[in-house]
Amino acid sequence: MNLEAWGWNSSLKENFNIYESQDLIPGRIVRESRHIYTLVTSGGELSCEVSGAFHYRAAGPSDYPVTGDWAAVRQASEDQGIIEALIPRQTEFSRQTAGNRSDKQVLASNIDSIALVFGVNGGRNFTESGLERYYTLARHSGAEIFVLLNKADLCSSEERQRAVEQAEKSAPGAEILLVSAITGEGLENFPQKEGKTIALTGPSGVGKSTIINALAGNELQKTGHQREHDKRGRHTTTSRELFQLPSGALFIDTPGLRELQLWGEESDVESAFEDIRSLAAGCRFSDCSHEGEPGCAVQKALEEGDLDERRYTSYSKLKKEMRFLKTRQDEQAARAEREKWKDIAKIQKEYKKQRQ
C-alpha cells in the first residue's frame, strides 16, 4: 500500500527514523472504536491496541491515538499489531473535555484543512455565535479553514445571501462555500488534493456524512432523514473515520458535537476576531480590556455603530472562557505538582523505615 497516498511525507518520515532500528513500521489510524485502532500500513490494514509501555507513558487522554494519527507499530501477525508510540502530530483539532478537569480531547490529527459545516435551512443549525466558537477552535488547529453552508437547495435566494454575509462576518479569512450535498451545488469548488487530509466538523445533523457521500459518488457513510420540527438531520456518525475518496483526497468524518468547550489560547480568539483586534490597536492603553477604560477604540466603535453589539458580546464571552480555562489549567497543574511531591515524600519515608 502506498503510504504517500495516505498523507505520509518527508517530515513524518524524519520523525519516524528513531523507530526503524526497533523493528517497527509506520501506519496511519483510519478508525478507532473502544481503544481498538485500525491502521493502514505498507503491507495492508492492521487491527491494533496500544502497548503496556504506551499506557504507562500516557499522561492524559490527549496522549492516546486518534483518527489521523501516524503510529510506530510492532506487527504481531498478518492482521494484528501493537502501537508502541505516536509520531508527533503536525496539526490537531481539539476541544476541552466536559467535566471538572481541564483536559484536552483531540478530535482529529494531521489534517491539512478543516471544514466547518452548518445547515442553513432554518432551525438551530446555524448561528453566528456558533460559527465564531467553531472558528476560534479551528484557528488553534493550524489547518486551513473552510466554512460549508449546506442544504442551500432548501433556502430562498434571500436566505442564502444572508447566510453567506453572516458567515463572512463571523469567520473572516475563511473561504465560505454555499453547497448542497443533495444536488451537488457548490461541491465542485471544494478543493480536494491527493494525499491531503480534510476534517469535517460541526453540529449534529448538518449533513457532514452526506457531503462525503456526494464527493465520493457512493454511500460511504450512513445518513438519516431530516426532522421536521427543528430542520436537523438525524445523528448517524458515532465514531471518527478516515476515508480515501476516488479523487485521492482523505476525509475525516466526525460525530456531531453537542458541546464545544474551548481549547487554546486567548490569541486564538484575537485571531478569530480580526476586526476587533484591528480596532483595539487604536485604544489608548495597550492592556485595554474594552470594558469601560477611557480612550477605548472598541467601545467607541460600538457607540458609533461600526461594531455589532452581538459580535462584541461573543468576543468578550470567548475571551473570558479562555481566561477561565487558563486558570483551571494552572490550578490543575499546581495540584498535580503537590500530589507528586506528596508521593515522593511518602516513598522517602517508607525507604527510611526500611533502612532502620
Spatial contact of 243 and 219, defined as CB atoms under 8 Å apart: no
> How far from chain centre, in Å, is Cα 247?
23
Alpha carbons 146 and 200: distance in angstroms, whole number:
10
Average pLDDT over residues 323-331: 76
The length of the chain, given as a count of residues: 356
pLDDT (0 to 100) of residue 234: 47
249's CB contacts (< 8 A; 6+ apart) are 192, 193, 194, 195, 196, 197, 198, 215
Phi then psi dihedrals of residue 36, to 5 deg? -110, 125
The pLDDT tens digits of the residues spanning 41-87 come to 999 999 999 999 999 999 888 999 999 999 999 999 999 999 999 99
pLDDT (0 to 100) of residue 221: 60
CA dist 254 to 195, 199, 301, 338, 345, Å? 19, 7, 39, 37, 45
Average pLDDT over residues 273-301: 92
Q: Please choose, from the candidates 55, 49, 20, 52, the residue with its C-alpha nearest in 3D space to the C-alpha of residue 35.
A: 49
Alpha carbons 109 and 292: distance in angstroms, whole number:
41
pLDDT interval class at 123 (50, 70, 90): low
Grid coordinates representing 265 are 489560547
Average pLDDT over residues 227-247: 65
What b/e string do you get for 267-287 counting C-beta neighbours within 10 Å, with b at 16 or more?
ebbbbbbebbeebbeebeeee
Grid coordinates representing 303 are 457607540
3-class SS letters over 204-232: CCCCHHHHHHHHHCCCCCCCCCECCCCCC
DSSP state of 346: H
Half-sphere exposure of 254 (CA within 13 A, CB side): 24
Alpha carbons 113 and 177: distance in angstroms, whole number:
14
pTM attached to this predicted model? 0.83
Phi then psi dihedrals of residue 52, to 5 deg? -60, -40
| Average pLDDT of every residue of the chain | 87
Average pLDDT over residues 189-205: 91
pLDDT (0 to 100) of residue 224: 45
Alpha carbons 345 and 255: distance in angstroms, whole number:
45
**Identity (one letter) of the amino acid at 166?**
Q
Identify the burial level of 186 via C-beta atoms within 10 angstroms of its C-beta, where 0-12 means exposed, 13-18 middle and 19 or more buried: middle
pLDDT (0 to 100) of residue 81: 97
Alpha carbons 27 and 29: distance in angstroms, whole number:
7
Spatial contact of 74 and 81, defined as CB atoms under 8 Å apart: yes
